[in-house]
Structure 1
Amino acid sequence: LDDDVQVRLRWAGGARGQLWASQVAIGASNALRLRVIGADAALDWSQEEPDYLRFARLGEAPQVLRRGGPGLSPAAEAATRLPAGHPEGYLEGFAQIYADAADLILAHRAGQAPPDDLSGLPGVREGVEGVAFITAAVRSAAADGAWISLSQETA
């Protein structure tokens, strides 16, 4: 499934997007890149330069936010393990998820509300949605690129 895929996306509310993932594109091995482009602003992040997030508002010069640097949200600061300038790696991303899950379990066992900075932790619902997305993409490919609604996969 992950050798090479191109997917058109449409969210509730009408927003549209594209996803491209490839393990076979020459010069782009594991070159994960996320870009979110809206009417008023855009974000651009690359796995090959993971410490930097480019943020651009319409009509303004782009800003580059640096991991561990000023201007980050409390959740981003909590997820930073090393000072800026010291690279964090791929495996640390998984370590962060495991640490957040452990904090969530401990809070639940103690009868406490989960810490605010764990709001982005994926759960069972996100897992089910991910499987539905992959299933829809495979069905679309088998149907020569026909549009497959995710609501068909989760019903």
Structure 2
Amino acid sequence: PIGAVITFIALLTGAAWGKPIWGTWWVWDARLTSELVLLFLYLGVISLYASFEDKVLAARASGILAIVGVINIPIIKYSVDWWSSLHQPSTIRITEKSTMSTDMLYPLLINIVGFGMMIGAITLIRYRTEILARNGMRPWVRDLATAEEAK
């Protein structure tokens, strides 16, 4: 769900930024289309997990779909280099000098690290919640809940 929400926000804000530049909300550009496929993969994994009563089987089935969906990641990354499209080529490069001005590059890199830390924190909170939900009837969870109520 975290990845699906962030992908949806990226598509929505990308459309808002693209409207004044391209004159339209959506273009079947390689980067945009592969990002939309990523959103559908996220929604498919979430739906597949929710469709099973047995959560172990659900995790296995949705995990297989997620592994298959990993194929889309390099397609998204290199789509602007492989196909000539509306998007500019890659501006942040690891092996050579970036084409972005350092006035914009450093704040962007700081934001990338910040968003990564935020996503990591949200993911850890979700893991903790999932562990507590799956073990809700165990004594240690009840003890933890009563200790939290006593505070």
Which TM class, normalised by the smaller chain length? 0.3 to 0.5
Q: Under a length normalisation based on structure 2, what TM-score does the superposition of the two structures give?
A: 0.32
Q: Which has the higher contact order (CA 8 A, sep 6+)?
A: 2
Q: Which has the higher strand share?
A: 1
Highest Rg: 1 or 2? 2
Q: Which has the higher helix share?
A: 2
